[in-house]
Amino acid sequence: MISTVFFRVGVWMAAGGMASCAFAEDGYRLWMRYEPLPEATVAQYKPHATAVVVPGSSKTTQAIRHELVTALTGMLGIPVHVASAVERHGAIVVGTPQSSPLIAALDLPLKELGPEGYCIRSVMLDGHQVTVVAANSEVGALYGAFHLLRLMQSSIPLERVALREKPRIRLRMLNHWDNLDGVVTWGFGGKSLWKWDELPGKVDERLRDYARANASIGINGTVLNNVNSDARSLTREYLVKTAAIADVFRPYGLRVYLAARFSAPMEIGGLKTADPLDPGVATWWREKADEICGLIPDFGGFLVKANSEGQPGPRTYNRTHADGANMLAAALAPHNGVVIWRAFVYDYKPGYDRAAAAFDELAPFDGKFALNVLLQVKNGPIDFMPREPFHPLFGAMPRTPLVPEFQITQEYMGRNIYLAFLAPMWREFFDSDSYAKGEGSTVAKVADGSLDGQRITGIAGVANTGDDRNWTGHHFGQANWYAFGRLAWDHTLTSEQIAREWIKMTFSNDPAVVAAITRIMLESREAIVDYTMPLGLHHITRDHYRPGPWLSVLQHPETIREDWGSVYYHRADEKGLGFDRTKRGSNAVNCYQPEVRDRFADLATCPEKLLLWFHHVPWDHRLRSGRTLWEELAMHYHRGVEWVLAVRGKWASLSGAIDAERHVDVARKLEIQLATAYHWRDACLLYFLQFSKQPFPKECKME
């Protein structure tokens, strides 16, 4: 059955078994557009793509059949039918050794691929080419089918295809910061996809397309509600609604999780305490877990933000984070559920350094968490900055599974205005060397468990989706959803590979168009760093979007506390700029392993891209370019603005090569991005000028 959403964006016509779609190019279809392929490519695929053989009657096998028929019909423009077996011509066969005699007979190497891996193989059968997608489970077969369609959308020949894949990380999750009133915290793609007021009686068909999109990139879990959670999410009223969502997601291998408010036993349970060591509290959580899993048998578990930014937690009762997490873990253990405990904890103390707060508070508990507890750690030690060093907890807790937390929604990266491809930022994180067990102990090896032999591994991305027609509020925002899924599945993929895949499926297969957009995407993150917070500057914003280097608790009491103001982080004065985190300052650099610590702590070896993160640098200090700090700072801001100017022109030159609707939308966003780039440059440089008292470089033209 075709999604009712598809009817709204186009016309579905069927005649004699043929179907064709005419869609509005509003971005709804994401990277699953299934547009007609070039004639030469169609001729190549035709001999083995007119029939689809997917044995089984489950909802997952139905989803595979529907996806293949819809996609092949759209791409090839020919009748594609479902068959019960390979006929006189070639076919695409998808299944497991248990469901398909053909796959069983091929005896493919599936054992080591686990429950989610798959094998795609081209074989000859009675003189006809057959493309086989084989897996150990139906969900694995679904992932493999989407991989096959990705190859075909990119016009990759299938005659000799022979590949095997399995995910490198076990739990690949989206975190939705969605509230029960439909508002999404730091969400810029519209209101929440979950229409709580309509559930469970009416389930928006769009949720199925959300599940399809996640399955297409291997995401297997989603947290439905905000980490600043509302205890009502755990009431029977809302659990029944959550169960209705889980029923839609289940065929696509997408498990549901909930953010749990630690004080829920008091707020909805009538208890007088939420002390994790209180037997009554433990009983309440155990019974709540039983109730949830009775409604949702494959419930994933709880995500918990505790004792952070005003949220309740175990420290409220003089208990430890391990006490709180382990109590919840015991409640979920009989149901194979997990507790994902967020490490975003910091308490303001005079003279402290927020960059070291989570390390100081959590590193001592390594090895003290239950086996089904994972610690979710932001990629950097502050808060999703355009650039940060990797969080020092990666490499400091070998006996605790650590879940990297990325932010797909662009809270500090221009919201839904900036064209910002985030894969290079995440690639930088994965490639960082923690030196936990010597050189080569990359953060990627910590995340996938290979460094320390972790049994359960995970990765999380704060979702950027909403009910906007194009899902993310910016057509290029979709690329970050896609990139997160692809890197969660295989963190060895390059940013360029991911960008080119996405462009081919989303915009065009034309080599010139792909090359032009790829370059724009790969340069975008560095350009934003240049015109917002270059050389290691961080958190110098107001409302997390506009420049605000002047914000301090003294001049702007609404910042409430010193570490919520910009001055706390850049520390500009007449001597220089930057936060001294060496032993002469906060000594937060000591959180890293000695090899990393020594490199960051030495002004001569510290990467210049992180210079002001770790050092208070004199204005006249000479950088490797030969320019002084002030000159280099000015040039970075200037270079960032020049990049947006150039990209505006490059995008204009693609008019006609990109559909008009999306081309105009992106062009409008680039105009706003340019205006804000000028604002960032001028506001920051004019503010820092009062301290540096040096002239601007002649190349830097202030307007």
Please identify every residue annotated as catalytic.
309, 383, 411
Beta bridge pairs of residue 402: 375
551 sits in which H/E element: none
| Contact in structure between 222 and 174 (CB atoms under 8 Å) | yes
Q: Residue 171's beta-bridge partner residues?
A: 458
Please check whether residue 232 is in contact with residue 238, taking contact to mean a CB–CB distance below 8 angstroms.
yes
- What are the start-end ranges of the E strands in 362-519? 373-378, 402-407, 458-462
Q: Cα separation of 677 and 529, whole Å?
A: 10
Q: Contact 357/376 with Cβ under 8 angstroms? A: no
Is residue 651 within 8 A of residue 520, CB to CB? The reply is: yes
Residues 6+ apart with CB under 8 A from 416: 188, 189, 410, 472, 473, 474, 477, 669
Give CA separation, 135 vs 116, 203, 504, in Å: 7, 30, 26
Q: Cis peptide leading into 200, omega within 30 of 0?
A: yes
Q: Where do the H-state alpha helices sit in 578-628?
A: 594-601, 611-614
3-state SS, one letter per residue, for 128-197: EEEEEEEECCHHHHHHHHHHHHHHHHCCCCCCCCEEEECCCCCEEEEECCECCCCCECCCCCCCCCCCCC
Partners of residue 94 on adjacent β-strands: 133
**CA 652 to chain centroid:** 29
- Alpha-carbon distance 371 to 454, whole Å? 10
- 1, 24, 228, 534 from 21: Cα distances, Å: 14, 10, 42, 46
- Say which residue the tokens 């009817």 belong to: 7
Which tokens sit at 571?
Answer: 């520390």
CA distance 397 to 393: 6
Q: Which amino acid is at 668?
A: R
Residue 597 identity:
R
Tokens of 378: 């932001």
**Beta bridge mates, 462:** 175, 407
Q: Retrieve residue 120's tokens.
A: 């795609």
Residue 480 in tokens? 């970050």
Burial track 341-364 (b if 16+ CB lie within 10 A, e otherwise): bbbbbbeeeeebbbbbbbbbbbbe
Residue 438's φ and ψ, nearest 5 degrees, are: 90, 180
Q: What CA–CA distance (Å, rounded) separates 206 from 191? A: 13
Are 103 and 135 in contact by the 8 Å Cβ rule? The answer is: no
3-state helix, strand, coil in the chain (%, to 5): 40, 15, 45
**Pairing relation of β-strands 255-259 and 301-304?**
parallel
Quick one: which of 130, 128, 166 has its CA closest to 147? 166
